[in-house]
Structures are given as C-alpha cells and as structure tokens.
Structure 1
C-alpha cells in the first residue's frame, strides 16, 4: 500500500511492507524541507526506511534532522535506515553518527532490517509495553486528578524530552517508585554527579554508554562481532542496543529476548557465560543458533553489566570465529572492568536522571 503527497518542498511517497515503513522523497530537500521530514519520520512508530535516491539536493540541515530522528528511533527501540547514492550525503551521515545505517538501494535497506522486524514476538513485547505504559498513565490520572490519559501522556512526554529519558523508563519508574507525599517527590535527595568513566560515550544516554562499552570490549578482545543488550524497564527481557557485524537475521531474532541465547543466560545467572561451540551449545534455541552461525560467529562470551547492588542492567557479548579466538583471563578481566564501569554509570542514571525527570513531572502536574 502506498500514497503520494506533493508540497513546495518536493514529493513524498509513503509505503508500508513487512512491518517497515518507507518514506521516499523526490526534489530538493533544503532548509524548508527539514520540518516536513521531521514530522513524517517522527510520526512513524515502527522501523523506517528513508529513501533519498530521487532527491536532487540534500542540505546539511536535512542531514542533521535525519541524525536526530535516528537517535529518536533508537530510544523508541526502532530502526532507521537512510538510502542514498550520494557519497557525500552518506559520508556526512556516518560522520555525524556512526551507528546510523546507510544503504545504496531500498532492497539493501530492507535486507538490513531483516524485512520481519515486526514479527509475532516483537509485537507481543510491544503490546506488553503499551499496556504497562497505559497503566502508568492511569496511575498519574488518579494521582493528579487528570481528566484524560492524553493529559497524563503529555506530562510524561514533556519530562521525557526535558531530561532525555525514554517514556518506557519513566513509565517503569512510576510503577516502581513510591508515590510522592508532598510538593517535592524526593525531599532531601542528594543529587550525585555522574561517576567518571573511561568509555567516552557519544552522548549522555544509556544507549550511547552501552555502545561505547561494546566498542571498547571488542577492541580489547579482538572480536570481529559483538552486541550489547539492555534490560527493558517494562517487559524485563533484553533489548538490543547496538551490534557490530551480525547481520539482519541476528537483529530480527535478538532485538527482544527473554530466553534462548548466551546473553539471556548471563542475565539470569548474573555471571559470564562462555560458549566454545555455538553449533552444539544447548544455551541457544535452533533459530537463535542459526542466526549467530550465519553471521560467521562460532564462539561467544556474554558478560552481565551489573549495578553496584548486583542488579543486571544489560549484557555485553563478543562473538568470535572459533573457540581458540576466545579472550583469555587477562582480556576478560578488562571486559569485567568495562562492564563494572558501565554498571556504575547506568545505576547513577537511574537514581539521578530518571528521578530528576519524575520530579519535573510532579512539579508540572501539581502546578496546574
């Protein structure tokens, strides 16, 4: 199914297939086009392919808009792929954010997304998340005597944007944190500074921190492939934050996980899981095993990212070509230090930035 829309900023064609929305622009994409692109892409609550192959001009403002939209898609647990044959545009996008995927054809972009990102398991997880978010909105409606859930969502959305915290994280906090007893939600709270970290994340968000941890760990272990997952605040399973070199089939199956892989074992055990032979290891289900093998990985190690109080905040996995390539004890000790560093930072973020966002929400709700 497709539709076409004309405007002063060019022609936009919309299409949807296999759980992926494609937005294709024709014409000059200058300063005036950036807001239209932002609205069209930002409104999509699913994986998106932005096709620029028929654009005769792509301005620097549009490039920056696409980078911002990619970051927003990552926070929403969606993926965005840009299609362009313009080498300068592709180079500019990658320089701005190396996590952003750029393809030269629409077919390649759909292959990168796996074409099945909205499978039954993912849809079930999204439905559970939506239900938990709706429950949090009901709590806020009752607490602040709001007339509609839309009013509650607007409070959550504003706090989310003001503090760069995901709506899922805020909804989970509303469920988990005791209700405020006065005008200040957390009276007497001492706001701590962020702990020092050697990871040098590209931004002050959990996905950026986890991506940096994966990059450092792959360099320390010499791994050709790797992935890092976070623990989902609402559903409780693992959500893929970033991967390197593992292919669309892996992304499709490992985007949301409850079981069936080394990383889920590491999450539940809260200890490292080492797999010397993926082909015969019982920790993988058949389909998860095939996805890892298709990526060219034959051995793996998954290390949990633990907070100072022992909670699992994520799992970092390095994949290797054979058992002999697995890192030794000195390299694994360095990976442990990286994961401990990440765990401290994520714990600080949850106890500081997320609570800052709740305070913001409470202040706005009580001042109405």
Structure 2
C-alpha cells in the first residue's frame, strides 16, 4: 500500500516495504522542502528509509536536515537510512555524521536495516553508546541547571554541528575533561594550528583524514584490500571508517570490533601485527577469519595509529593475496610515517577542535 503527495517541495511517495516505512521524494529538494521533510519524517516513531534516488536536486540545507532527523531517530532508538545515487550527497551525509547509513538502492537500504537488526554485538554497542551519551546529558543538566535532557542534547547537537564533531566524541569529552571552573572552560589555552600533513584529506574531519591515510597506504603497499578503523570514543572498540576492495561480509563483521582480528590485536598491543597466514592464525575468530578469506586475502598486516603520547587512535590494515605479497621494510616504514602523520593530526583535533566545541557548548549554556 502506498500513497503519493504532491507539493512545491517535490513529490513524496509513502510505502511500507519489508516492515519498514519508506518515504521517497522526487524532484528538486531545496530549502523550501525542509519544513515538509521535517514534519513528515520527524513525526515517525519507527525505522524509516528516506529514498532520494528520484530527486533531481538535494541542497545542502536538506542534507543538514536529514542529519538532524537521523539524530532524532537515534534518540528514539530507531534508525534512518538514506537512499541516494548521488555520490556527493552520500559523501556529505557521511562527513556530517559517520553514523549515517547511506545506500544506493532501496533494496540495499532494507538489507542494511535487516543486517543491523540481526547483529547483537552492534546493538549491544549502540546500547552502551546511548547509555554513555545519556550519562553525559545528565552531567550537563546538573552542571547548568537544565530542566530536561532534551535541553542538554540541543546544546550538544549545536556544538557538534558548529564544529563538525560527532555527538559521541563530545559526550566522551564531557565525561573525560574536568568540569569548567569559570566562564571560560579552558582559560589560557593556546590554540595550536593544525600540523602539516602530506595526506591531503578531503575535509577537516577525522574520517576524512583516515580515508586519506588509507588511500596513501594502499598506493604504497599495492594492497588489493585494505581498511582503516578509528577507536570509538565511547564504546572503546574499533569502528570501520573506510575500506578498499572488501566485500559485504567483511564490512558487516568489521564495522564494529572489540576483539577477534589482527586490527584489534594491534589496537591493544599498540604495535604492528603481521599475519602471514590468515587461515591458521589464532588472532582471528572463525567468523572473522572466514570474512577475510572470502575477500581472497590470505595475509594481512595491521599498524596502529598512535598519537604522540602513545594512545591508539585507530588501526590501518592492508590485506594481501599471499604471504609473499606482504609489504617489506621500506614499504612498512612508509606506512609508519603515514600512521604517525595521522596520529599527530588526530591528537591535534582532539586537543583543539573538540575543546573548541566544548567551549562553544559551555558559552551557550552559561548565556541561557
């Protein structure tokens, strides 16, 4: 059963597919479409697929609106998946919030929802993240005398969007950073310029930086398959940021990791882990081993991305067809340089941009 709605904001078709509500917009979606999209999507208290495959234009303000609605869905413990064939729109959504799920087709979007729903480990991690975010909101309510968690969330959301920092990162910082003692959270702080990097990220965000590090490492090592993970700020495990040449089974299993793979070993040891034979290596669980072998890879190396003080901020993994294809010392030295470069930049981001966002949040809360 479906219905169509026509307006100056394009055409909306509502449908139920696979037990999931689907909203498909067609035509041009500019700023005049925003109130309609907010009203229709924001009213739903269920999983939803927003299908933009038929949209001839998706403006930046619509992208920002979808990111806000995605946040709202997560707060309601539901999921929102966007369908688009426009690579720039997909890239913009993921850059705005790495939690965004974007698919090229409606069938793919439904498959992503079903796969996510069946992954108990992922749902448990999300539950931990929600609990930690809720805890951070409680801290802010008490600190600033806010009446509801929604008020605290709006402060966090605004600071997140103003400084392009994820809500999870801000929530983790609220837990980790000592409370402000005055009108300025970090009095006397010297704001450093970003360190020079040869990685040339497409944007000034950690996901963009890690994607650039992966691209350079693939070129250096000639790896047919590779992945880069970040350390999740709240759950503490690894989150897949970008991959090269890896299939669906790998992506589904390696999207969130606490253990069971070479990359998690590298994270915990804070040193490179080399696996000449994936098939017999004890570092993998049977499930994760099979996912790697299904890609055609038989060997791997995982290099941690360390900050200058030795903390692990992520892991870069290259997969190779045979042990003989593993990178040699010259190539690994270049990978080390890439990871060191990334570690310095991520450390700067955490000590500068994240603190800027906290200062913004504190100033807005004090002015209420």
> TM-score by structure 1 length?
0.84
**2:148 matches 1:148:** yes
| Distance in 1 (alpha carbons) for counterparts of 2:351 and 2:226 | 28
- Which SS does the other structure have where 2:116 is aligned? coil
Over residues 275-307 of structure 1, what are the superposed CA-to-partner deviations in whole Å (9 max), with x where a residue is unaligned?
111111111111111111112221111000000
Output the aligned Cα RMSD: 3.3
Q: Would the aligned equivalents of 1:70 and 1:80 in 2 still touch at CA under 8 Å? A: no
Residue 137 and residue 71 in structure 1: after superposition, are their counterparts in 2 closer, same or farther (change >3 A)?
Answer: closer
Task: Say yes or no: does 1:116 pair with 2:112.
Answer: no
C-alpha distance in 1 between matches for 2:64 and 2:144: 36
Asked whether the 8 Å contact 1:184–1:363 carries over to 2, the reply is yes
Q: Tell me which residue corresponds to 1:58.
A: 56
Per-residue CA deviation, residues 211-250 of structure 1 (Å, 9 max, x unaligned), is: 1100110111001111111001111111111112211111
- 1:13 partnered with 2:11: no
What is the match of residue 362 of structure 1? 362
Corresponding residue number in structure 2 for 1:346: 346
Stretches of structure 2 that go unaligned for 5 or more consecutive residues are: 96-100
1:134-145 aligned at under 5 Å gives the runs 134-145=134-145
Cα distance in 1 for residues equivalent to 2:297 and 2:232: 26
CA distance in 1 between counterparts of 2:60 and 2:358 reads 33
1:178 shift after superposition: 0.5
Deviation digits for residues 291-343 of structure 1 (CA, Å, limit 9, x no counterpart): 11112221111000000000000001111111111111100100000000000
Distance 2:304 2:90 in 1: 29
Give distance in 1, aligned partners of 2:254 and 2:353.
Answer: 28
Is 2:262–2:301's contact at 8 Å kept on the other side of the alignment? yes
Distance 1:156 1:63 in 2: 21
3-state SS of paired residue (1:133): helix
Aligned residues: 353
Report Cα offsets for 1:118-146 as digits up to 9, x if no partner.
Answer: 31111110110010011011111111111
- Say if 1:81 and 1:28 are closer, same or farther in 2 by CA, change over 3 A: closer
Q: Is the 2:229–2:238 contact (alpha carbons within 8 Å) kept by the matching residues of 1? A: yes
Residue in 2 that maps onto 1:87: none
SS at 2:278 equivalent: coil
Contact in 1 for aligned 2:3/2:15 (Cα 8 Å): yes
Which sections of structure 1, spanning at least 5 residues, go unmatched? 85-89
Paired residue for 1:239? 239
List per-residue Cα deviations over 1:126-182 (Å, max 9, x = no partner).
Answer: 110010011011111111111111111111111111111111011100100111111
Alpha-carbon contact 1:160-1:357 (below 8 Å) kept: yes
Determine helix, strand or coil for the equivalent of 1:117.
helix
SS of structure 1 residue aligned to 2:302: strand
**How far apart are residue 70 of structure 1 and its match?**
8.1
Residue of structure 2 in register with 1:187 after alignment? 187
1:18-97 correspondence to structure 2 within 5 Å: 22-25=22-25, 27-31=26-30, 34-35=33-34, 39=38, 50-52=50-52, 55=54, 58-59=56-57, 61-62=58-59, 65=62, 82=83, 90=86
TM-score (norm. length: structure 2) = 0.84
Residues 127 and 211 of structure 1: CA distance in aligned 2, closer, same or farther (over 3 Å)? same
- Distance in 1 (alpha carbons) for counterparts of 2:351 and 2:298: 38
